[in-house]
Amino acid sequence: MAPTFLQRTAVLARQLNKTIGVQMDVTFSTWINSLGLLLDICGAILLWKYGLPEAISREGHCYLVLGQKDEAEAAKARTYDCWSRLGLALLILGFALQLVSNFI
C-alpha cells in the first residue's frame, strides 16, 4: 500500500531533522492550523474575484432596454452571489479552524 501524504511528510520531516538538525513537530494542531490558513486564502481569493461585482443588476434588468429583464444578467448575478457566499463561508471556516487549533 502506498504511503499517504501525511506519512510522506512525516518521513521528510525526520530526514530534514537528521540532515540539518532542525526539529519539526508536525502535530494534528499544526495540520488543522494549516488547513484553516488554506481555506482563508481560498475564501479571500473568491471574495476578491466575486465579492462585489460592479455592473450586475441583481434583478436582471438590462439598462439599455427599459422594461425588460436580461436572464443572462440575472444568472450571472446568481453565480456571483453563490461564489461570494462560498468565499465568505471558507473564510469563516478557516478562521474557526485556526482558532480551534490553538486549543487542541
What is the rounded distance in angstroms from the CA atom of residue 60 to the CA atom of residue 100?
41
What is the rounded distance in angstroms from the CA atom of residue 28 to the CA atom of residue 6?
10
Average pLDDT of adjacent 10-residue blocks, the chain of 104 residues: 72 69 69 90 90 63 66 84 89 92 85
Residues in the chain: 104
Q: Which residue has the cell 465579492?
A: 51
SS3 52: coil
- Residue 44 pLDDT: 92
Domain boundaries, the chain: 27-101
Q: Which three cell numbers stand for residue 2?
A: 502506498
| Sign of the CA dihedral running 76, 81, 87, 93 | negative
Which residues, at least 6 apart from 36, have a Cβ–Cβ distance to it below 8 Å?
93, 94, 95, 96, 97, 98, 99, 100, 101
